[in-house]
Amino acid sequence: MATVTDLHDDHHDHGPAKGLMRWVTTTNHKDIGTLYLIFALVMFMVGGAMAMVIRLELFQPGLQFVDPGFFNQMTTVHALVMIFGGVMPAFVGLANWMLPIMIGGPDMALPRMNNWSFWILPFAFAMLLGTFFMDGGAPAGGWTLYPPLVLQGGDGFSFMIFAIHMMGISSVMGAINVIVTILNMRAPGMTLMKMPLFVWTWFITAYLLIAVMPVLAGAVTMLLTDRFYDTTFFSAAGGGDPVLFQHIFWFFGHPEVYILILPAFGVISAIIPTFARKPLFGYSSMVYATSSIAFLSFIVWAHHMFTVGLPLQAELFFMYATMLIAVPTGVKVFNWISTMWKGSLTFETPMLFAIGFVIMFTIGGFSGLMLAIAPADFQYHDTYFVVAHFHYVLVTGAVYSIMASVYYWIPKWTGNMYSEKLGQWHFWLSTISVNILFFPQHFLGLAGMPRRIPDYSVQFAEFNMWSSIGGFAFGLSQVFFCYIVYKTIKGGEKATDQVWEGAEGLEWTLSSPPPYHSFSKAPEIK
């Protein structure tokens, strides 16, 4: 199925167009990858600023800084921006940069659609962030958009729905591009089971995206028609059910969190073998484990709904299925550790972030397993215990893998080495502060503090203060990261083609930086 021929007559070896229009009209996967990554970095800062407002208000008991309604806008938009504007575009940026190179292809299969997929995003987010200036303010019903509450929103509601539709279209087009590229554009000899794991994890993620983003679109369309066109999908008075929304939303929502983590698994699976100077342990197991996780992710959604009043049999089924996902996830962790075992390890910054990922994502996995136990979940649900869980898997999980990938591949992308000393500082400052930020939140949840509240009872004061201090420090550390990235792009010690002693894969056969068009002629696959 995979064939690619000479797509270029080399006589017009042009470089990229000049100026701003280069970036507006580019169909080059490297340029588009760069656009996505920079967009994601900016969105992380925007979402991070909102988190700073949240932690500022929660620093002490009592209401000091913001109206409770505005606080709800902060929590809602913080999540939407981080998930849809931060993590997802960052991973798409990595896919764009690396997938064509890793499979020995000339570019993504649909380069023009690739350009549209990206440029939808700044418009979608301008709309979403614009809602802060509208009557009624930004959406404030939580990123989970539960009706009837979400229907009480002001004008911002409609724009949020529109923005979500646009983000969904961007994601689906991107996912289609990924699948078509991987299926149809591999160099001869690059069989599926020879592809780097990062390609595999993105391949599977793309299928998840195509399946569930349309379901989210369906759910928000139903919200729109319930509000403006007199449907009653979610209103008991009309024969509908608010819980119906939750079923549809979480049918999207659960696979969505695997969409947020599978590419991370791929990145870690690239980095650890490099710095252990040892091949990835259990390649085929890793492929099967990832596929199992993806399949299982479709049948566990109601574990987000244990307290709505589901029938007993449903709660039992979803509890068992959710606990089951721990098995393939554990398999992956064991395989990474076996990769390290009896390797020859060095601890450059990418490896630090990768190891930090394995340890702290596993901690997030443990709290996830606890949440899976339905009767116990009745105590944890909608408390800070859940907040701690998902921030461990998303921040010290997904975001750490993204930072790891930037340190790992930026010498290749730019031709410049980042400063190892600064990278180490960034890692340690981040890791210490992120644990001070999120670990106490486990205790807050267990002690009884609910989520999404701007003020709390006095017994929660001490841990909230610690959490906020960690938050401010973590935020500052990420500003530092922006500086490191900027400095590296501007210049630094020149990188070799190989960059890392133990690195394997097609990207390291190209120059640093690679030519504007790599693999116009298919490489030889051994």
Do 251 and 186 touch, CB atoms closer than 8 A?
no
How many C-beta atoms surround the C-beta of residue 474 within 10 A? 24
* CB nearer to other proteins: pick between 23 and 132: 132
* CB nearer to other proteins: pick between 16 and 279: 279
H helix intervals, 373-460: 374-380, 384-393, 400-414, 420-447
Distance CA 100, CA 187 (A): 10
Query: In one letter, which amino acid is 208?
Result: L
* CB nearer to other proteins: pick between 38 and 432: 432
Distance CA 167, CA 85 (A): 9
Shortest Å, Cβ 53 to other proteins: 14
Query: In one letter, which amino acid is 155?
Result: D
H helix intervals, 185-311: 197-228, 242-259, 262-276, 283-296
> Which residues 6+ apart lie within 8 Å of 242 measured at CB?
146, 147, 148, 234, 235, 236
Shortest Å, Cβ 207 to other proteins: 9
Do 182 and 101 touch, CB atoms closer than 8 A?
no
Shortest Å, Cβ 454 to other proteins: 6
Distance CA 214, CA 511 (A): 40
Task: Give the CA distances from residue 482 to residues 21, 231, 354, 520, in Å, rounded to whole numbers and listed in that order.
Answer: 25, 47, 19, 33
Distance CA 98, CA 181 (A): 12
Name the residues annotated as catalytic.
78, 107, 143, 170-171, 254, 256, 258, 269, 303-304, 329, 332, 451
Shortest Å, Cβ 491 to other proteins: 28
Distance CA 185, CA 260 (A): 25
Shortest Å, Cβ 172 to other proteins: 5
Distance CA 411, CA 415 (A): 5
Shortest Å, Cβ 490 to other proteins: 29
Phi and psi, residue 488, nearest 5°: -65, -40
Shortest Å, Cβ 511 to other proteins: 26
Shortest Å, Cβ 24 to other proteins: 24
* CB nearer to other proteins: pick between 85 and 106: 106
* CB nearer to other proteins: pick between 16 and 69: 69
Distance CA 263, CA 293 (A): 13
Shortest Å, Cβ 65 to other proteins: 8
Radius of gyration, alpha carbons of the chain: 23
H helix intervals, 67-139: 68-80, 88-102, 111-130
* CB nearer to other proteins: pick between 327 and 482: 327
* CB nearer to other proteins: pick between 69 and 491: 69
> Which residues 6+ apart lie within 8 Å of 313 measured at CB?
none
Do 383 and 449 touch, CB atoms closer than 8 A?
yes
* CB nearer to other proteins: pick between 255 and 415: 255
- Burial code of 19-41, b = ≥16 C-beta within 10 A, e = fewer? eeeebeebebbbbbbbbbbbbbb
* CB nearer to other proteins: pick between 334 and 480: 334
Do 81 and 138 touch, CB atoms closer than 8 A?
no
